[in-house]
Amino acid sequence: MEAAVVQPPHGQPRPLPDETLLKLHELMLTGRVLEERLIRMQKQGDGYFWIGGPGEEAFNVALGMLVHRGEGLAHDYLHLHYRSSATLLAMGADPVDALRQMKNTATDPYSGGRNFAGHASIRRWNVAPISSPIEVQFSMAPGTALAQKRYGGRGITIVQGGDAGTAEGDFATCLIWVSRPSNELPCLMIVTNNEYGISTPAATQHGETRISDRGRAFGIRSKTIDANDAEAAYRELEEAMDYVRTERRPFLLEARVSRLYGHSSSSGANLVKGEVDCLVEIEKKLEDRGLRSRAELDAMRAQKTEELLAAARRVIAEPQPRGHTVWQHVFAERDVVTQNPIPCDNHGGGRRQPWLEQAH
Amino acid sequence: MATQVQAVRMALHVGETRHGVTDIFGEDVGPPLGGVFTATQGLRTAWNSPLDERGVIGAAMGLALAGQRPVCEIQFGDYAFNTIDLLKLAGAMHWSSNGDWSLPMVMMTPVGSGIHGSIYHSHSFDAQATRIPGWKVVMPSTPYDTYGLLLSAIVDPNPVMVLLPKALMRVKARPGELIPGEPDDERVLSKMIDAPLGDRTLWRPEWPETPDVFIPFGKLKRLREGRDVTVVTYGRMVAICERVAANVAEEGIELEVIDLRSLIPYDWDGLVESVSRTRRLLLINEDTEVTNFGEHLARRVTDELFGVLLAPPRVLAGKNLPGIGLSDELEKASVPQPDDIERAVRELAATSFDRGRGPSPRARPAAPTALAPSDMDHREAFARAYAVR
């Protein structure tokens, strides 16, 4: 792919208030330290697999800060992917829960030890279960967005995936389904473009200049941004989200990001040289603006590292799930989303399954 | 005397008026057509989707996550194959989130052969469907069961697949199996709820008042009692097995014919009860025979009821072929035919292992299975086609 044709918003982004910039930074730092701890845990044998989003924190934190968090149609629905932990932190998730999922403990609130690190599920915040198959979230997103279009209000659907995943048919599905004439949906489609699919450079597989150009064919407002600049990422997201909230129409945002530790633990999870580091960039800004000194920044990092190390030591002592629990939740016995009662009492859904009974 | 498509329509009408169904959608599901089989005519919440099966399943999942009650249609089961990883994801939603989310959605799709549908309008889906844990799977064979199972699917908190035998879409209910509230005269019902030919813009259906009928999942239906062989089937094969049972009854072979109806969950207690009496089991369905759902039941019966069996359980299923050919001869050679079923039951009924338990009450000459010529043909043909070369 040729060098990114990145459109700056309006020249330089409008500076964020100091308070917002400081908050962005602190969350980005937590996100980075968390990913580094997760990588360390995996390498030390306290987890089977690591995948995450170090290098995307500027964008992902900004996204999490701007989400209308909550349960139900009035709030935003999130169809995220496995590089989204910083978004969840910015929404208020406890970083220790990410450690629990890495260690696959019974206390892991996202999956009870069933799923990989970075595969969250938080119904009380409309965060749909994150799954490993690439791009399937783009087929589901039109469903929540359709329900929100009917409902009205300012809640939107946010769906996020990587650049390589846009080759899957699900990406085209989303473009089609959110832009049906007279049925345009309030859906923010996000492609975080790190220019790789595992080991394969996008430039060797994709002929399109910008992924965001694909939105134009459907009349979807689209943009490619430099998401290594936290301030720009925040401003662009603010603008895109406001458009989707207000106009109840889709927006395709391609965010150019770095991938600082490669694809996952399967490719070594070692620091990659030559990529822009959004955390270094924001710290430069903070120093330039006199908001933080180098010594303060170093102290913050040291403190967070120490806290998460201590947390990891606690987490590895937490219990693992018991084998017989595999039989739990094969079927739902009630609708946990709407809490609707089942109107018949002779129903398979209301009865314990015989194989479940045997297991207990 | 409703047909299966009319039963689908009436259940969906009840679903959208009384049980919160918000969306009935899929390719050509909305007006003007109301479904290629007319199963969704006249419904308030029916709408047309893009021609995108993955989009249909994905949207249904998203709607369910957002607290809606979607019923989606895949126009032919043959076209559900490219949705399988989404179906897996739907089945995993509750489990993988450790109970955090539930996914109440219904997928219905016409399946099977019998209408000369050629290679891509004849596939069965029950073998695939029952291999996707987290889904409930039903396959009704009568309009009444279609009505009651579809309504149960609609109110279930899990993803439920309703497989509709496409050869039965226009088959009418038998006497005594009317949906409560439907008019006795089929012409009256047709006038009320079938869309007219031509311009339908001003047409509105007049729905009969039909009550809630929730047929529980995991309850088989015994259509005929018999002491010699339990024949377990579902879908299009049900009526065929009943005819075979009537034929062989004249020879003194008494078949117990069971319509399983609900594949996941299935009525194990009911199967145990029947097989314990007849001590012989024949499983019949149209799907291809390798890793067939009947094989699972045969394996479980062998594991758990081996001691009572007088003969090995048999599975009579579709031939293990890439497709079903268009010509009548090809179709007949691909899925079980009445003659095949008759041969299989005669053979089973004539088999009695000497199990060292003394003569069984109905001991017949112990004949280690003399195969009928066509069975020999099939076994040889299968062995040749799948030989290691």
* Per-residue three-class SS string for B202-222: CCCCCCCCCCCCCCCCCCCEE
Mutate to test the interface with B, among A139, A330, A334 (most CBs of B within 10 A): A139
- Phi, psi (degrees; rounded to nearest 5) at A77: -100, 140
pLDDT, average across residues A152-160: 98
Using alpha carbons only, what angle is made at residue A290 by residues A288 and A294, rounded to the nearest 5 degrees?
Answer: 80
Domain shared by B9 and B79, yes or no: yes
Output the CA–CA distances (angstroms, integers) from residue B300 to A12, B229, B288, in the order listed: 69, 17, 19
Cα–Cα distance measured from residue A163 to residue A257, given in angstroms and rounded to the nearest whole number = 10
Domain shared by B8 and B132, yes or no: yes
Domain shared by B183 and B261, yes or no: no
Cα–Cα distance measured from residue A300 to residue B140, given in angstroms and rounded to the nearest whole number = 64
Q: Which of A58-62, A64-68, A348-352, B204-208 shows the lowest per-residue confidence on average (mean pLDDT)?
A: A348-352
Say what the pLDDT of residue A11 is. Answer: 65
Contacts of B61 in chain A (CB under 8 A): 139-140, 143
> Cβ B265–A73 below 8 Å, yes or no?
no
Cis peptide preceding B32, ω within 30 of 0: yes
Round the average pLDDT of chain A to a whole number and report it: 92
Contacts of B65 in chain A (CB under 8 A): 77, 128, 140, 143-144, 337
Say what the pLDDT of residue A360 is. Answer: 30
> Cβ B67–A147 below 8 Å, yes or no?
yes
B379 exposed, middle or buried (CB, 10 Å; 0-12, 13-18, 19+)? Answer: exposed
A164, pLDDT greater than 90: yes
Domain range for residue B279?
221-385
Round the average pLDDT of chain B to a whole number and report it: 93
B178, pLDDT greater than 50: yes
In a domain, B153, yes or no: yes
A229, pLDDT greater than 90: yes
Measured in angstroms, the CA of A119 and the nearest CA of chain B are apart by 9
B314, pLDDT greater than 80: yes
Measured in angstroms, the CA of A67 and the nearest CA of chain B are apart by 17
pLDDT digits (tens, 9 = 90+) for B78-137: 999 999 999 999 999 999 999 999 999 999 999 999 999 999 999 999 999 999 999 999
Chain A residue at shortest CA distance from B19: A343
Q: Which residues is A193 bridged to in the sheet?
A: A256
Query: Hey, what amino acid is at A80?
Result: L
Closest partner residue to A147 (CB to CB) among B66, B100, B217 is: B66
pLDDT, average across residues B157-172: 96
- Phi, psi (degrees; rounded to nearest 5) at B137: -135, 125
Measured in angstroms, the CA of B193 and the nearest CA of chain A are apart by 26
Domain shared by B186 and B256, yes or no: no
Say what the pLDDT of residue B354 is. Answer: 65
CB B71 within 8 A of CB B15: yes
pLDDT, average across residues B341-369: 69
Closest partner residue to A332 (CB to CB) among B67, B96, B102 is: B102
In a domain, B198, yes or no: no
Measured in angstroms, the CA of A127 and the nearest CA of chain B are apart by 10
Going by pLDDT thresholds of 50, 70 and 90, the confidence category of residue A182 is very high
Say what the pLDDT of residue B374 is. Answer: 63
pLDDT, average across residues B147-173: 96
Q: Which of A189-198, A333-342, B296-305 shows the lowest per-residue confidence on average (mean pLDDT)?
A: A333-342
Size of interface A-B (CB pairs under 8 A): 191
How is residue A14 annotated by DSSP?
A: P
Domain end: B177, B193, B209, which one? B193
Cα–Cα distance measured from residue A172 to residue A245, given in angstroms and rounded to the nearest whole number = 22
Domain shared by B250 and B325, yes or no: yes
Domain shared by B305 and B370, yes or no: yes
Going by pLDDT thresholds of 50, 70 and 90, the confidence category of residue B368 is very low
pTM of the model: 0.94
Closest partner residue to B89 (CB to CB) among A133, A157, A330 is: A133
Cis peptide preceding B361, ω within 30 of 0: no
How is residue A8 annotated by DSSP?
A: -
A103, pLDDT greater than 80: yes
Chain A residue at shortest CA distance from B20: A340
> Cβ A332–B158 below 8 Å, yes or no?
yes
> Cβ B217–A146 below 8 Å, yes or no?
no
Mutate to test the interface with B, among A344, A345, A358 (most CBs of B within 10 A): A344
Cα–Cα distance measured from residue B1 to residue A290, given in angstroms and rounded to the nearest whole number = 82
A143, pLDDT greater than 50: yes
Q: Strand B136-138 vs strand B106-111: parallel, antiparallel, or unpaired? A: unpaired
pLDDT digits (tens, 9 = 90+) for A323-336: 999 999 999 998 88
A349, pLDDT greater than 50: no
Say what the pLDDT of residue A359 is. Answer: 33
CATH of the domain at B284: 3.40.50.920
Domain shared by B270 and B157, yes or no: no
Going by pLDDT thresholds of 50, 70 and 90, the confidence category of residue B367 is very low
In chain A, alpha helices (H):
18-43, 57-66, 85-91, 95-102, 137-151, 169-177, 213-216, 230-247, 278-288, 294-315, 354-359
Cα–Cα distance measured from residue B13 to residue B253, given in angstroms and rounded to the nearest whole number = 44
Say what the pLDDT of residue B376 is. Answer: 64
A176 in contact with B at a CB cutoff of 8 Å?
Answer: yes
Q: Which residues, 6+ apart, have CB-to-CB distance to A315 below 8 Å?
A: A96, A99, A100, A102, A103, A105, A107
Nearest CA-CA partner of B98 in A234, A67, A97, A48: A97
Measured in angstroms, the CA of A71 and the nearest CA of chain B are apart by 9
Say what the pLDDT of residue A13 is. Answer: 81
Say what the pLDDT of residue A344 is. Answer: 57
Contacts of A111 in chain B (CB under 8 A): 96-98
Token pair, residue A289, equals 């603006």
Contacts of B150 in chain A (CB under 8 A): none
ipTM: 0.93
**What torsion, rounded to 10 degrees, do the Cα atoms B78, B332, B311, B320 define?**
-40
Q: Strand B221-224 vs strand B255-259: parallel, antiparallel, or unpaired? A: antiparallel
CB B78 within 8 A of CB B30: no
pLDDT, average across residues B18-34: 97
Q: Which of residues 238-297 of A touch B (CB under 8 A)?
A: none
Cα–Cα distance measured from residue B229 to residue B256, given in angstroms and rounded to the nearest whole number = 6
CB A244 within 8 A of CB A178: no
pLDDT, average across residues A13-20: 94
> Cβ A129–B54 below 8 Å, yes or no?
no
> Cβ B265–A128 below 8 Å, yes or no?
no
What is the Rg, in whole angstroms, of the alpha carbon atoms belonging to chain A? 21
Mutate to test the interface with A, among B21, B25, B100 (most CBs of A within 10 A): B100
Chain B residue at shortest CA distance from A140: B58
In a domain, B168, yes or no: yes
The sign one gets for the Cα dihedral B200, B204, B208, B213 is positive
Question: Which homologous superfamily does the CATH classification assign to the domain defined by A18-321?
Answer: Thiamin diphosphate (ThDP)-binding fold, Pyr/PP domains (3.40.50.970)
pLDDT, average across residues B274-297: 98
Strand residues in B22-159 grouped as ranges (E) = 23-26, 46-48, 70-73, 106-111, 136-138
Contacts of B54 in chain A (CB under 8 A): 139, 169-170, 173
Q: Which residues, 6+ apart, have CB-to-CB distance to B79 below 8 Å?
A: B53, B120
Domain shared by B228 and B185, yes or no: no
In a domain, B334, yes or no: yes
Token pair, residue B102, equals 């539930």
Domain regions of chain A by residue span? 18-321, 323-360
Closest partner residue to B65 (CB to CB) among A337, A346, A354 is: A337
Say what the pLDDT of residue A122 is. Answer: 98
* CA A52 distance to own-chain centroid: 9
B359, pLDDT greater than 70: no
Domain shared by B238 and B308, yes or no: yes
Mutate to test the interface with A, among B17, B18, B65 (most CBs of A within 10 A): B65
> Cβ A145–B62 below 8 Å, yes or no?
yes
Domain shared by B51 and B162, yes or no: yes
A348, pLDDT greater than 70: no
> Cβ A332–B155 below 8 Å, yes or no?
no
Domain shared by B149 and B69, yes or no: yes
pLDDT, average across residues B369-382: 68
Q: DSSP secondary structure string, A125-163?
A: GTBPPP-SSTTTHHHHHHHHHHHHHHH-SS--EEEEEES
Closest partner residue to B62 (CB to CB) among A140, A335, A340 is: A140
Chain B residue at shortest CA distance from A139: B58
> Cβ B158–A340 below 8 Å, yes or no?
no
Measured in angstroms, the CA of B98 and the nearest CA of chain A are apart by 5
In a domain, B140, yes or no: yes
Number of domains present in the structure of chain B: 2
Place of tokens 């406001």: A242
The sign one gets for the Cα dihedral A13, A16, A20, A26 is positive
pLDDT digits (tens, 9 = 90+) for A240-297: 999 999 999 999 999 999 999 999 999 999 999 999 999 999 999 999 999 999 999 9
B363, pLDDT greater than 50: no
Q: Which of B197-211, B219-233, B375-389 shows the lowest per-residue confidence on average (mean pLDDT)?
A: B375-389
Cα–Cα distance measured from residue B368 to residue B362, given in angstroms and rounded to the nearest whole number = 16
Closest partner residue to A170 (CB to CB) among B58, B63, B152 is: B58
* CA A68 distance to own-chain centroid: 14
Helix (H) / strand (E) containing B64: helix B53-65
**Whole-number percent of chain B with pLDDT over 70:** 94
Domain shared by B188 and B259, yes or no: no
Cα–Cα distance measured from residue A346 to residue B149, given in angstroms and rounded to the nearest whole number = 12
